Amino acid sequence: MEKKYVIIMAIAMTMLLSSFAISYLGNEEADADRTYTLGAGVWDGTVASAFAGGDGSSDHPYVIETAAQLAYLTQVVNSNADDTDNGGKFNSSAKYYKLGEDIYLNDTSGWTSWDENTTGLNDWTPIGSYVSQSTNFVANFNGNGFAVKGIYINSAASVQGLFGWVTGGKIYDLGVEQSFIYSTRSSGNDAYVGGIAGSLNSGSIITNCYNAGTVTSIGNSIGGIAGSLNSGSIKDCYNLGDVTGGSQVGGIVGYIFGGGSVTGCYNEGTVACSSSGGGIAGNSANTIDGCYNSGSINASGGNVGGIVGYLVGNVINCHNTGSVTSIGHKVGGIVGIIQGNSSTSTNNGNVTNCYNKGDITGGGDTGGVVGSDNGNYKCTVVNCYNTGNVTGTGGGTYAGGVIGHVYGDGTGSYVTNTVANCYNAGTVSGATGSGGVEGGSSVADHCYFLKTNDVNSTLSVGAGIETFDDDGNLSGGGTLLAALNNWVDAPTVAARSGVVYEHWINASFPVFGTEPAGDDPGDSGGPDNGDDPGSNVMLYAAIILLVIIAAAITIVVLKKKGVI
């Protein structure tokens, strides 16, 4: 009896582990098919009459599992319909929705060739209309880690995206993939086009979302995540898709104003515009913090930056590794132009703890960190560095390793702006009036640039500026690393406006102590961020090993019992 029991248990254990392995690998393959190829639930253009489940409460959100149910959400929101089953309006701040599956609005097999002339696709109507305040999306939408794929929009109207006009609504944990979102809104007008939403207003929030589709328009205010952000926030989002527009074009958001902020976001897509373009935002009147760009920025006009093109606010703890190229003026690795909005306050128009490693090319006022300031408003560039090459083209004037042109030099009616504790290790060339730190007038304070027989050898050294060699040794004695940290640790600096300045490490070419080991903090890994093919292979191997071990144990036990 004991022998029979042992045999049964051994065989059962082997079968259980084998079944688990087969089931897991099968499910993984099925998930991959659903994510990257045509799924079974491609939209037929119809609209459902109910959601898959839930009652719309925070504990039991309405569940959306099909494209027809997502279209039903558009219908009830845009018509301001009553929720006759559970009370109130479907479009209410008290209503909650969540995805239960990836949603396919079209067959995505040929999506990369979609353009404004493509026919035979289902057109999407954004959730939330700007026609009246009652039809702005105000509810709560949880993507639940799923994505909406195959969005096709080709519209002459403004405010386009998966969502349209959002007022106080909250959208989180959601992806948009394999999509083409286009507005033909005429050049010079605000189109408000984004992958997730066209326009965010009145405290709207987008968190932990991404776009991996094409977003384009000839109009203004175009972004990978949102077209505009007015008094709200975009946090921990990223864009992998190409973004194209007129003015105010950004990898994350086109235009930030009215108290909006962007935190912890990054862009890897290409951004193309006529003017006011950036890897994170085209135009910002508020704060961008902890963001980075690695995508190429290309423009035909001015006010172009690796992070933001036109700044009337603050950029803190950001960096750029992508190339920034324009034939226009005011082109920078972090900011194109710092505008500021006050002649007395230093709490606006500030770039702090930022760095650029991308190559920067502009027609004039071209800088490794900032293209130029505006001489009428207080601005600062503090504790920043550049290692990218800075090139002025087309006979343009002024190029600088840190800032291309300082207008605010205190002369005439101009205010005196601040460029302090910054360094440049990139080559500066091509422009009339090139400088290792500043291309125009000098206001530098404790700034430095690399000068050797091969790099920046012909550039002169102005007041408040010192040179260093390839080993980080200053021309006047001491090291660049010590000089930068001494400035940060100075009591008068540490207490200034409550700003926390990053400390520096690394002897030859110093970097921030909190800087990631690679160029970018983390690896996006594409739309399915958590699915690392390498880790999956290891997991498969571990499962197979368990099956082998179980089989070996079974054989040993059976031999000891004299069964085999």
Three-state SS letters, 488-550: HHCHHHHCHHHCCCCCEECCCCCEECCCCCCCCCCCCCCCCCCCCHHHHHHHHHHHHHHHHHH
Q: Could you give phi then psi for residue 229, rounded to 5 degrees?
A: -135, 110
Contact between residue 465 and residue 449 where contact means Cβ atoms under 8 Å apart? yes
**Residue 6 has what pLDDT?**
45
pLDDT digits (tens, 9 = 90+) for 434-489: 999 999 888 999 999 999 999 999 999 999 999 999 999 999 999 999 999 999 99
**Residue 344 has what pLDDT?**
78
How is residue 166 written in tokens? 């959002």
Q: What is the 3-state secondary structure (H, E, C) of 138-206?
A: CCEEECCCCEEECCEEEECCCCECCEEEEECCEEECCEEEEEEEEECCCCCCEEEEECCEEEEEEEEEE
Give me the half-sphere count of Cα atoms (radius 13 Å) on the Cβ side of residue 454. Answer: 4
Burial group, residue 413, by CB count within 10 angstroms (0-12, 13-18, 19+) = exposed
**Residue 552 has what pLDDT?**
64
What span, in angstroms and rounded, lies between the C-alpha atoms of 13 and 555? 12
Q: Could you give phi then psi for residue 63, rounded to 5 degrees?
A: -100, 130
What does each of the 564 residues of the chain score in pLDDT, given as a tens digit? 455 544 445 444 445 444 444 444 344 333 333 333 344 489 999 999 999 999 999 999 999 999 999 999 999 999 999 999 999 999 999 999 999 999 999 999 999 999 999 999 999 999 999 989 999 999 999 999 999 999 999 999 999 999 999 999 999 999 999 999 999 987 778 999 999 999 999 999 999 999 999 999 999 999 999 999 999 999 999 999 999 999 999 999 999 998 899 999 999 999 999 999 999 999 999 999 999 999 999 999 999 999 999 999 999 999 999 999 999 999 999 999 998 888 877 667 999 999 999 999 999 999 999 999 989 999 999 999 999 999 999 777 899 999 999 999 888 889 989 999 999 999 999 988 899 999 988 899 999 999 999 999 999 999 999 999 999 999 999 999 999 999 999 977 766 667 899 999 998 999 999 987 654 433 344 454 333 333 344 444 555 565 566 566 656 555 665 656
**Residue 495 has what pLDDT?**
62
Contact between residue 475 and residue 448 where contact means Cβ atoms under 8 Å apart? no
**Residue 189 has what pLDDT?**
83
**Residue 554 has what pLDDT?**
56
Written as one string, the DSSP assignment of 330-389 is: EEESSEEEE--S-SS-SSSSEEES-EE-S-EEESEEEESSEEEE-TTS--EEES-EE-S-
What span, in angstroms and rounded, lies between the C-alpha atoms of 90 and 322? 43
- The radius of gyration computed from the CA coordinates of the chain, to the nearest angstrom, equals 28
Q: Could you give phi then psi for residue 429, rounded to 5 degrees?
A: -155, 170
**C-alpha distances in Å from residue 68, one per residue of 53, 265, 472:** 14, 31, 62
Place of tokens 């012909």: 458
What span, in angstroms and rounded, lies between the C-alpha atoms of 469 and 449? 9
Contact between residue 249 and residue 284 where contact means Cβ atoms under 8 Å apart? no
How is residue 444 written in tokens? 């530098």
Q: Could you give phi then psi for residue 22, rounded to 5 degrees?
A: -65, -45
**Residue 110 has what pLDDT?**
95
Q: How many CB atoms lie within 10 A of CB 285?
A: 20
Q: Which residues contact 236 (CB under 8 A, 6 or more apart)?
A: 207, 208, 263, 264, 265
Residues facing residue 326 across a β-bridge: 299
Contact between residue 116 and residue 145 where contact means Cβ atoms under 8 Å apart? no
Q: Which residues contact 497 (CB under 8 A, 6 or more apart)?
A: 346, 347
What span, in angstroms and rounded, lies between the C-alpha atoms of 204 and 215? 21
Written as one string, the DSSP assignment of 416-478 is: B-EEES-EE-S-EESSEEEESSBSSS--EESEEEE--SSSSTT----TTEEEE-TTSBBTTSS
Model confidence, pTM? 0.87
